[in-house]
Amino acid sequence: MRRGDRFEGHIAGVGTTSGVRLVVGRWLRSPLPAGEGGAFADVMVERADGHRILLAPSDEVADYVTSTYTFDEVRVERVEVTVEGDLWRVSTPSSTLSFTVGRRLPLGWALRAVPAPVATSPRWSRIIAPVAERLVPGVRTVGMAREGRVEYYGATDLRSVTTASGVLDGEPLGSLAPIDPPCRFGFSSTPPWPSLTTVTTTVEHRRPSPAASAS
């Protein structure tokens, strides 16, 4: 298996008054056989009843993501993200989401002050993990994912999301709301306030030791 897979792009966390929470990944570069440079988008959805859905653009993406995160349902379908200034539009056969990106948050200014090669390194993610847990409830910069994978989040910017609307399976999502309760896809959630994070995610694949394999 690959070691140290890097995904560079954005994560948008959006809550809605219907109780549906969505996490949109717009990846500009990745190791997956997706678009140019491995570019792809995916959507993680948690309904008000706790049902977790992955919307993935291909079997390869779905397999990778479900090996790292936990879902109750997986849908392989077209996922398109378009960006026009501060307006983001997400479209799939079963959902639509439009949201507006606002000002850079104070934490975003702090993140931008760290040189990108440092901020996106797994070592830095480990160093700042205790601080991140205190500053942003629910957010972890490093942790164990599924199948023995270790995941590192290296954020370099953070902006607010100010409006949102959309539809899931024909039902309106309502308007923008906090991401409460936190999403339960993995060891970390997005910030509890709707936001767009510029991030490099590193996924390490750790093999069990021979002793562990033999036990």
Q: Write down the H helix ranges in the chain.
A: 59-66, 106-112, 116-119, 122-135, 210-214
Distance CA 149, CA 67 (A): 9
Kindly state the average pLDDT of the residues 56-60: 95
56, 62 Cβ separation under 8 angstroms: yes
Q: How high is the pLDDT of residue 206?
A: 67
Q: Is the per-residue pLDDT at 52 higher than 70?
A: yes
Which residues make beta-bridge pairs with 12? 24, 196
| pLDDT, tens digit (0-9, with 9 covering 90-100), for 199-213 | 999 998 765 444 333
Cα angle: 43, vertex 178, 203; to 5 degrees: 40
Q: How high is the pLDDT of residue 209?
A: 40
Query: Residue 2's CB: how many other CB atoms inside 10 A?
Result: 10
Kind of pairing, strands 52-56 and 73-76?
A: parallel
Kindly state the average pLDDT of the residues 59-72: 93
Q: Is the per-residue pLDDT at 7 higher than 90?
A: yes
SS3 call for 148: helix
Domain spans in the chain, listed from the N-terminal domain onward = 5-205
Q: 207 burial class (0-12, 13-18, 19+ CB within 10 angstroms)? A: exposed
Q: How high is the pLDDT of residue 186?
A: 85
- Please compute, for residue 116, the number of CA atoms within 13 A of its CA located in the half-sphere on the CB side: 6
Q: Which fold has domain 5-205?
A: Acetoacetate decarboxylase-like (2.40.400)
